[in-house]
Amino acid sequence: MDETVRAQYEAYPYPPRDPAEEATRLVTGSPSHVLEIDHYVFAGRRDFARPFRALFAGGGTGDGTVMLAQQLADRGTPAEIVHLDLSAAAQAIAAARIARRGLAVRFVQGSLLALDRLGLGGFDYIDCCGVLHHLDDPLAGFRALERALAPDGGMGVMVYAPLGRTGVYPLQALLRALAGEAPLADRLALARRLLPQLPATNWFKRNPHLHDHLSLGDAGLFDLLLHSRDRAFSIAELARLVADAGLRIAGLCNAIRYEPAAYLDDRTLLARLDGLVPLDRAAFAELLAGNIKTHTFYVVKAANPADTVARPDGTDAIPVLRDGDGPALALRARTNRIVHIGYDGLDLRLPLPALAPEILARIDGTRTLGAIHRALAEAVRPAPEWAAFKAEFDRLYLTLHGLGCLFIRHAA
């Protein structure tokens, strides 16, 4: 089966990328953004002047590899980055993208299940996106990655989620019945003939939030509907799998989607959830929202005793915006105190606190919360006491961190 999967990605490298586009844009996302890694794995205290080893296990055509390699190079980090993948065709695209940017990455062809044999290990960070749900034994994959982690290292992972992919698996079964073991190009042709014929009642037809077959060409269609090995995990299933591998979930990306209060405003209903631990709240929210297609999250070793997640506590915490700048966001917040964001057909309207514009205007990635409070106290009348300021910041942080926009670091 590994050979079947490899053959698919040799024929249709995924996602399709043109190395020439590296001259005009850097693809960014989650996981593996350097701010996220620092926040979830190193409690915001990683000194990136020190050597850093990273593995992209199943790195494909290189989105994550290119992003982190560029971000570490921009910081002057002495980094060793290894890109591991089954597909030579996918690696060739990733290598061309890296070469366009003049970056340094080591490319190794093979399976993440062979990490022990390949002698690859001791990584500060591992990225594994879109891979574990294609393994015959995902637990074996998690365990192989766990062994390759340094004791205080962590991983960024993405796997499929079931509810947002409603319709995918019945249609995959239809196409297996229709196409059997036909050549890959013939399977694609049959899929393209079938899609316009789907009745309005077909669950895939009724799910308008699946786009790869429309936006990513043959590679997107094959990966979505014709993959030979594909499964999805609920939060509850994922939590058990991670624990069985000797790991623990440090944080879920886009955490607002896993918070029931983002969907419910009935206090009686929310009170019933007060006793749930965070992962149980996340499992409830997944069932409630019904549209989550993937889970993206960070894990660390269960044996690591440290609290690896940065907290917005104390005057020395430094808030850092992932994209955009504080003053620009402050201008928007002055005219609209509501963040309006859409997730696959679901519109969320999230209120911002009264001091949001003043706080955002002073977030520059270097000021501590203490410094922001002092600057704000000189500019605002009446000057807010620390407790009032911190309550306002915490409300702002809950929203913007939940949207993946705001993180915490501490001075090295």
What DSSP line would sit under 320-331, residue for residue? EESSS-HHHHHH
CB proximity list for 320: less than 8 A, separation 6 or greater: 35, 363, 365, 406, 407, 408, 409
Which pair of tokens denotes residue 114? Answer: 């062979």
- Kindly write down the DSSP assignment for every residue of 73-125, as one continuous string: HHTT--EEEEEEES-HHHHHHHHHHHHHHT---EEEES-GGGHHHHT---EEE
- Residue range 8-27: average pLDDT? 97
Lowest mean pLDDT among 4-8, 139-143, 321-325: 321-325
> Is 275 in the same domain as 137?
yes
> Is 31 in the same domain as 99?
yes
> Is 250 in the same domain as 361?
no
As a whole-number percent, the residues of the chain with pLDDT over 70 amount to: 99
Q: What is the span of the domain harbouring residue 361?
A: 318-409
Strand partners, 247: 301
> Is 139 in the same domain as 180?
no
How many independent structural domains does the chain possess? 3
d(CA 59, CA 43): 25
Last residue of a domain, one of 275, 301, 327: 301
pLDDT the model gives residue 328: 82
d(CA 174, CA 194): 9
Residue 46 pLDDT greater than 70, yes or no: yes
Read off the pLDDT of residues 74-108 as tens digits, 9 standing for 90 and up.
999 999 999 999 999 999 999 999 999 999 999 99
Q: Are 104 and 85 in contact (CB under 8 A)?
A: no
Read off the pLDDT of residues 338-363 as tens digits, 9 standing for 90 and up.
888 899 999 988 999 999 999 999 99
> Is 389 in the same domain as 334?
yes
For residue 384, the 8-state DSSP code is P
> Is 172 in the same domain as 295?
no
> Is 142 in the same domain as 247?
yes
> Is 152 in the same domain as 51?
yes
- Residue range 169-187: average pLDDT? 96
pLDDT the model gives residue 171: 98
> Is 15 in the same domain as 131?
yes
Mean pLDDT computed over every residue of the chain: 95
Is residue 12 in some structural domain? Answer: yes
Residue 225 pLDDT greater than 80, yes or no: yes
> Is 186 in the same domain as 43?
no
pLDDT the model gives residue 239: 97
pLDDT the model gives residue 340: 84
d(CA 125, CA 154): 5
Is residue 111 in some structural domain? Answer: yes
Is residue 280 in some structural domain? Answer: yes
- Residue range 380-397: average pLDDT? 93
Read off the pLDDT of residues 286-335 as tens digits, 9 standing for 90 and up.
999 999 999 999 999 999 999 999 999 999 999 999 987 788 888 888 88
Counting beta carbons within 10 angstroms of the beta carbon of residue 199, is it exposed (0 to 12), middle (13 to 18) or buried (19 or more)? Answer: exposed
377, containing H or E segment:
helix 369-379
Read off the pLDDT of residues 246-298 as tens digits, 9 standing for 90 and up.
999 999 999 999 999 999 999 999 999 999 999 999 999 999 999 999 999 99
Is residue 306 in some structural domain? Answer: no
Is residue 380 in some structural domain? Answer: yes
| Residue bearing the bigger pLDDT, 349 or 163 | 163
Residue 1 pLDDT greater than 70, yes or no: no
Is residue 313 in some structural domain? Answer: no
Is residue 308 in some structural domain? Answer: no
Q: Are strands 123-129 and 106-109 parallel, antiparallel or unpaired?
A: unpaired
Residue 146 pLDDT greater than 80, yes or no: yes
Whole-number Cα distances in Å, 289 to 26, 307, 357:
31, 29, 30
> Is 75 in the same domain as 23?
yes
d(CA 231, CA 386): 49
Residue 336 pLDDT greater than 90, yes or no: no
> Is 180 in the same domain as 149?
no
pTM: 0.96
- pLDDT tier for residue 157 given thresholds of 50, 70 and 90: very high
